[in-house]
């Protein structure tokens, strides 16, 4: 197969496992935890590394902000042979029960964005792979700090306009956190027959009753990001050692 046109990566260089994250700098940070880490490409917002963690080959790829751009990344990785994708991201919390610095494992995402509605019919679920959820949650419990698993919501909007986003309804329905890419990841993975999951470090509140000034650049958030990266890497090792599930 020829070069993936947007990621600018040769599919032959891609392993089965990938950690995906929004920020190209975070991809580099994660790659430092790998042995034999190698940068394959940095095209637009998509920065691709490969390497090994405890003997398991994986890619680390940044997907940028927002579902349409992120979906381009997910689609090309899957075309290139990746069959297990874990998003390591940040999100805003809906509850003081899980403040900034906590982790959330997303079991499913509300499709409150535009992209997946151009991919799949209304009512199609954006749902995580249950083995990935279990591996992420079990791994997170092995480290100190809050971790919850449940439904998250994926929006297109970051800075609000004049339209009311029904945060109160999402919160009342038990949604844990809001971010901008998971619905795309889960729907693309389902349509293409691969497995996906996501873990989020909370970096503030999405609920206006709780929100102060947004500052994701704190020690608490940095520690949570470090914890979710280690959790995702451990989860990949668990998944790779349990070949019978696949
Ligand atoms: O998913 C959201 C988006 O990628 C979370 O953080 C970014 C915006 O700051």
Residue 236 lies inside a defined structural domain of this protein = yes
The range of the structural domain enclosing residue 211 comes to: 11-245
Measure CA 91 to chain center: 10
Q: Are 163 and 137 in contact (CB under 8 A)?
A: no
Distance 200 CA to ligand 1 centre (A): 10
pLDDT > 70? residue 220: yes
Q: How far is the CA of 90 from the centre of ligand 1 (A)?
A: 6
Interface ipTM: 0.90
Q: pLDDT band for position 244 (50/70/90)?
A: very low
Q: Please, what's the largest Cα pairwise distance for the chain?
A: 51
Average pLDDT for 51-56: 98
- 39 belongs to a structural domain: yes
Residue 4 lies in a domain: no
The answer as to whether 36 is a domain residue is yes
Number of structural domains found in the chain: 1
In-domain check, residue 1: no
CATH number of the structural domain spanning residue 92: 3.40.50.1580
Say yes or no to pLDDT of 217 above 80. Answer: yes
Q: Rounded distance, CA 32 to CA 40, Å? A: 14
Return the residue matching tokens 């844990």.
176
DSSP codes joined into one string, 49-86: EEEEETTEEEEEEE--SSHHHHHHHHHHHHHTT--EEE
Is ligand 1 within 6 A of the CB of residue 129? no
Answer whether residue 16 is part of any domain: yes
Query: Is residue 5 helix, strand or coil?
Result: coil
User: What's the pLDDT score for residue 214?
Assistant: 83
- Does this model's pTM top 0.90? yes
- Looking at the chain, the whole-number percentage of residues with pLDDT higher than 70 is 98
65 Cβ below 6 A of ligand 1: yes
Residue 17 included in any domain: yes
Centroid of ligand 1 to alpha carbon of 23 (angstroms)? 9
Sequence-ordered list of residues with C-beta below 8 angstroms from that of 27, at least 6 positions apart, any chain: 21, 47, 48, 49, 60, 61, 62
Catalytic residues: 203
Statement: residue 116 has pLDDT above 80: yes
Whether the CB of 90 sits within 6 Å of ligand 1:
yes
Asked whether residue 59 is domain-assigned, the answer is yes
């Amino acid at each position: 197969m020829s070069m993936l046109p947007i990621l600018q990566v040769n599919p032959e260089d891609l392993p089965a496992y990938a950690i995906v994250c929004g920020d190209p700098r975070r991809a580099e940070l994660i790659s430092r935890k790998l042995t034999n880490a190698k940068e394959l490409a940095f095209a637009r917002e998509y920065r691709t590394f490969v390497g090994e963690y405890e003997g398991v080959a994986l890619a680390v790829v940044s997907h940028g902000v927002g579902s349409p751009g992120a979906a381009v990344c997910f689609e090309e990785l899957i075309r290139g042979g990746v069959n297990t994708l874990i998003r390591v991201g940040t999100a805003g919390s809906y509850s003081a029960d899980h403040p900034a610095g906590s982790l959330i494992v997303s079991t499913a995402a509300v499709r409150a964005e535009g992209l997946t509605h151009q991919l799949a019919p209304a009512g199609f679920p954006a749902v995580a792979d249950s083995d990935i959820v279990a591996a992420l949650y079990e791994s997170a419990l092995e480290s100190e700090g809050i971790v919850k698993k449940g439904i998250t919501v994926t929006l297109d909007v970051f800075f609000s306009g004049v339209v009311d986003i029904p945060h109160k309804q999402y919160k009342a329905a038990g949604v844990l956190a809001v971010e901008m890419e998971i619905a795309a990841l889960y729907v693309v993975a389902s349509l293409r027959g691969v497995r996906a999951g996501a873990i989020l470090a909370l970096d503030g509140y999405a609920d206006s009753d709780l929100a102060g000034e947004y500052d994701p650049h704190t020690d608490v958030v940095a520690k949570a990001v470090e914890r979710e990266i280690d959790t995702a890497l451990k989860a990949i090792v668990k998944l790779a050692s349990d070949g019978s599930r696949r």
